[in-house]
Structure 1
């Protein structure tokens, strides 16, 4: 990404103002303006709303009602704050640095950490997504062979990524995803949820007693990892650059776009949570497999609901596998460029030219299939466990962000507000406490 940086001298940085933006867009059609204004936010929603959100929200609702709702509310707030600070750094820093290059300016150890962490988490994220997609293929085809289903999924992704036909397939996937989202929202509204309990759970600030197959602390930490602490939050600045939002003048546009995506995330996560609390929990259904999740729609919408669930969930998983298999090679390669500047210069900072990114893609896509071998943990367990592991890297990410976003030589007048700094400090403390409690409860 080094090849795309703008001029280092602060006085030469071009700051496009809102007035410039409005005048530049004056000649566009209304639809054109809408597309311009909502670009990266749509991509962010598709990137963030993966199996992690679906499983953690459903499990939390089914096992604990609304007792852990405050964790979701806090995590979504932290996601907005963290991604907004990351985006502001990339748009407004005076050296034209990417977010990963900013971390590298603190100390080389951040580059090494992010390189290793992104490589491991890319593998683990795809492990449960490939496992879940394989289970769905196995169910839909009636073959009762999830491992074969996983191999089919990996083969399809490998053959389709980068080809024109994938754009058509992606369009179909979005239709299935939209149907699943509408189904969950419809079910959530039709259950007449207890809004008093929702409010009480949102301001409860306590961990309930353990119920179901997963402890309350594990579920809580998994929610934090899936939403606030996910390394996938690093992907959003890439979307900004691809959209052409590269200057401080795009800050307001970026912030409104991000707010839109967070609101959509709130609606979808809340709908899934309500379905778990109002349909699965009263019927005594504990989510131990993907089939248990399907019962929420099947109980109320019959066979049609069952089919919508499996097709929509497959769309989420397949799109996420493609996203992780193409996005993480870029993230890992960029992190390596922070460590090895000679390699970055050799390929002009273009990961597409670097064979390393192709090897990373192969590793991230093909190696996770080992988790689908019979006898390995199932899809739900993998999802909860992997997202809980996100908490390990959260303190490093938060501390690094706190440092680079407050450096006067990099950010000038765009440094953090006191509120943002307080939230980042609290997020760091929360992550360290969560990791410690998790280790005490499940490891030590």
Structure 2
């Protein structure tokens, strides 16, 4: 799309050697970037809802799930990035999966197509509910139609860059508000530490079961297919060689650090403000209560405008990012089509049709009578765990292929962590199946 190509053209290629005379801000600007874009893709309604629900319903007892998921996210995304930078044949990560067995290509194609639909389902529904509340029209379905129409008209147009900047400002205001509330609430550090090393699932006390919330956190963070977008951002930045491994790793560490701060702030607000007041997060209005109680009507507006910014930007991101991922997976299945369009997704008519699919079909979830935004968000992120075993096991096999990775194949620590991730993924999928059936 036009805005994507502009991003690629305007991005400064990372130099392999940075001059010692370069000051910190110049070095940061030229050396970092994909991690920030990844944060904007990762952080969305999933993190906002799962962290606040976990805090409001279970205090800090599930904090270990978030800590473990963030560690796994860093290691998994770092291995994915290193594969793309260092494999001897210049394969994309999805092409690498296809080398293991044709099953992976078919699975990733179907999985990405389904999850692209479901991710947009709860975000479009949430954006409709927020817009309906802001304008006090009580027509969330019509508001969802308006949101989809706006996204459809704005994608690829120059005006979207300005609108995207506004949405990022709203996201920044929401983040600052949550950080302010978290600090003001004087969190119990002892309980946070205890919850981080607790390794237990508490009894169900909230509206949403503790096990379902735990699986949803794992699905939203460690097992998210959104982790696969990072290599695309690296490519746009110009990080394509083994010499970029170090700067990529540092950039990713920075991104994970930002995720930790924001998720922790949201969690603290749930545990220290919502929980003591007996507020369970069943609707988006319950989540708004934290800012409204502390900051009044001003906080109410910051929350709803910020959430709308998060959701709108995420809808655009998913509607342009997932088609790229899906088409790339299809090219693994059909190599002739990749050659026909020279691997340029935007020139393939399939790209536009998939974009329409992941943007328009989720509207069925906004029809009156369908599950609410909070329930749908938790459910979709829990279902996201289904693909985690395939992703983790495939990555374990792929990153140890000496014929592809040479000296850059996994070390023993990474193999242990990926093995544990595979076990956690299988356990989560089994628990999810048991919960539903």
Is the TM-score greater than 0.5? yes
Match of residue 249 from structure 1: 243
Counterpart pick for 2:108 among 99, 108, 114:
114
Superposed displacement of residue 301, structure 1: 0.3
Match of residue 310 from structure 1: 304
Match of residue 3 from structure 2: none
Is the CA contact (8 Å cut-off) linking 2:392 and 2:425 kept in structure 1? no
Aligned-residue RMSD, C-alpha: 1.2
Match of residue 134 from structure 2: 140
Superposed displacement of residue 26, structure 1: 6.6
TM-score by length of 1: 0.94
> For 2:190 and 2:25, how far apart are their aligned partners in 1?
40
> For 2:94 and 2:432, how far apart are their aligned partners in 1?
28
Any idea what the Cα deviations from partners look like across 1:26-67, whole Å, max 9, x if unmatched? 787764432122210110110000100000000000000000
Counterpart pick for 2:315 among 321, 333, 337:
321
Match of residue 152 from structure 1: 146
Superposed displacement of residue 441, structure 1: 2.3
Counterpart pick for 2:182 among 188, 196, 215:
188
Any idea what the Cα deviations from partners look like across 1:244-284, whole Å, max 9, x if unmatched? 00000000000000000000000000000000000000000
Match of residue 402 from structure 1: 396
Matched, 1:76 2:70: yes
Show structure 2 runs of 5+ residues with no match: 1-13
Show structure 1 runs of 5+ residues with no match: 1-17
Superposed displacement of residue 435, structure 1: 1.4
> For 2:119 and 2:344, how far apart are their aligned partners in 1?
25
Q: What SS does the aligned partner of 1:393 have?
A: helix
Counterpart pick for 2:82 among 85, 88, 91:
88
> For 1:154 and 1:234, how far apart are their aligned partners in 2?
24
Match of residue 99 from structure 2: 105
Match of residue 17 from structure 2: 22
Any idea what the Cα deviations from partners look like across 1:264-323, whole Å, max 9, x if unmatched? 000000000000000000000010000000001000000010000001111110000000
Match of residue 207 from structure 1: 201
Match of residue 256 from structure 2: 262
Q: What SS does the aligned partner of 2:17 have?
A: helix
Q: What aligned pairs does 1:37-56 form with structure 2 within 5 A after superposition? A: 37-56=31-50
Any idea what the Cα deviations from partners look like across 1:117-144, whole Å, max 9, x if unmatched? 0000000000000000000010011100
> For 2:349 and 2:137, how far apart are their aligned partners in 1?
37
> For 1:44 and 1:405, how far apart are their aligned partners in 2?
21
Counterpart pick for 1:61 among 52, 55, 58:
55
Q: What SS does the aligned partner of 1:315 have?
A: helix
Match of residue 5 from structure 2: none
